[in-house]
Structure 1
Amino acid sequence: YFCNTGQDITDINESGLEMLGYFGKERPRLNLHDIFYSEGELETFFKSMQRDGYVKDFECEFKRKDGTLINVLLSATAIRDETGNIVSCEGIAKDLTKVKTMMEQLAASEKMASVGQMAAGVAHEINTPLGIILGYAQLMMDDFDEDSEPYQNLLVIERQTKASRKIVADLLKFSRQTGSARENLNINEVLTDVIAVTEHNLHLDHIQVHMDLADNLPPVVGDAEKLRQVFVNLINNAHHAMEKQGKGDIFITSWFDADKKQVVAEVRDTGHGIPADVQARIFDPFFTTKPVGKGTGLGLSVSYGIIQDHGGNIEVESPVIDKKTGEKISGTAFRILLPEAKDPKTIQED
């Protein structure tokens, strides 16, 4: 879009109009005050333009025609006249709403996985003694008359023990992930979606993404949302491994192993690698090498469970051996191996 010094939009492309909720031949007269939801964000935007002459990757909220809000990433550059005065500006806005929604869903999934792991531990540690208490209480009830005080006391113990077991069962039911819809998927589409979510944050730390996706891959049967969670976690781990370097590369590759009839997707980084003694524990729940508060230690264990549930496997290699030269390359490679869909038309639900 282009706007003048009065903040009037003088020109905007079709994509911009559609993003704001205007379709067809609608050509409304818009002002930035009409589009920006927050006056504070608009003021920050103007100050940056006046001070620096540009704005880069400014996150803000726009208001659409129907009043709904969208999250956008805004970059703009001032246009000056011969005397150096700002006469207008041109800007590019990217809709981040879907990206933010996906990230929130993934964060919620990881939190639920954490609750699930803790609930499983609670069930194991509490259900066993509760079962013993319940069993002995019921055995002792046979030794007393129903009208006696000891029998009534044991009845209270039985009732409260059953109530406690129900609380644990409800917690497990709440935290356990429900059945997921399975459908035929192209793993390349899943990888492309994930890169769209993560690439911006990677670029902020000067990490470049290189994609080499094989054409005509056979489909796999799976849950797209859960597989996206797996790959986002792998890419976030790769990002963390290269944060302190100030730069790095992530290589996303896919291919089909005809011998094993498996679709393979690899995420490789150029970080510091994983020590051999740590590799054996990386899939253990709550194991993490990140500082306190930076990770739950559940990401890889949850990812491992998801891939196992899809009939696949995860392989890790660190350092990475170059297949062409046989030399060791600094970094880590995670490979996701998923079986080829036997029936291309199969869609099932667990």
Structure 2
Amino acid sequence: MDIFDEMKERGHEQIIFNYDEETDLKMIIAIHDTTLGPALGGCRMKNYESQEEALDDVMRLSKGMTYKCGVAEVDFGGAKAIIWGDPEEDKSKAMMRAVGRFVETLDNRFYTGTDVGTYSEDFIYSNCESDHIVGLPESYGGGGNSAIITAYGTYRAIKATAKEAFGDDSLEGLTISVQGLGKVGYRLLDHLHDEGAELIGTDVKEEYIERAKEEYPIEIVDPDEIFGVECDIFSPNALGAILDDETIPQLKCKAIAGAANNQLAEPRHGDKLHELDIVYAPDYIANAGGLMQVADEVIGYNEERVKQQATNIYDILLEIYEVSNKKNIPTYQAADEMVENDIETISRLKTNYVEK
């Protein structure tokens, strides 16, 4: 991979490689676009197969954050951090302190917090070293578990998607298959069950499956089978890049809406869903609730304000679907165009000098 060619193609401003010998921290921070403000994005920990895989993931995720910030109408740009390591074996308090110190070197350019493989409690230690940590527990001045509001926003996205696909936003009687029963997927089940949806689920972790079975009437299938189950709406809430040449032909649903990041392996897979008349909720809109919460922490967290912002995901998606239908373009393209136009407009406004 030629890093500079990749940065030019994907629109990145900065890639920072960080290493701490004492804790064996291997961390990459990717800052995509700061037109809207300082960059904001979670810190993921995963045992990647290679440096190339880690770099590709952080670049994909950080670009998604630019679009997510744009659609959420928060004054932040897009970024992401990844820690290369096993979150169950390699993570330590000292390592998370090292994370905080590296974040602080960027001097108000980057804010970060929890993501896949990390938890709000981990960042208590990062917060000791940096003033640019978000997603902290309430007892430390944060908004608490961002998975809760993310799940609520995803639920609102599913309702909007049901309205587009079936003409009614009620989920009663609909069969919804949920891939991933962890942080967000588990909490999403509560909203879906309360509305009377029939639930099918899967996860790679047995403890998540058992927890879901204990609390909800849910049919469990093997992870590889989830794509081909008969359902009305498929909700991906695990890792990304799961909609590809192999999985799309298996789908037996009318719509897709979930919280996983970067669900399309490539943009052309969004084109394929459009051709198949499968309504697709762009993931960075469906999962924007968590971003709304952590962005609000920077200005002074207000739970009611964030709940209203997440509620509005419903209306944002209906607008996207309207544009998609009017122009006969895939929903991901309609969403991207809307965000890009907004960023371009704000960029022009910022040419006017304002003394601070």
Q: TM-score range by the shorter chain?
A: under 0.3
Comparing both structures, which one devotes a greater share of its residues to helix?
2
Give the structure, 1 or 2, with the largest relative contact order (CA under 8 Å, sep 6 or more): 2
Q: Larger Cα Rg: Structure 1 or Structure 2? A: 1
User: Normalization by structure 2: what TM-score?
Assistant: 0.21
User: Normalization by structure 1: what TM-score?
Assistant: 0.21
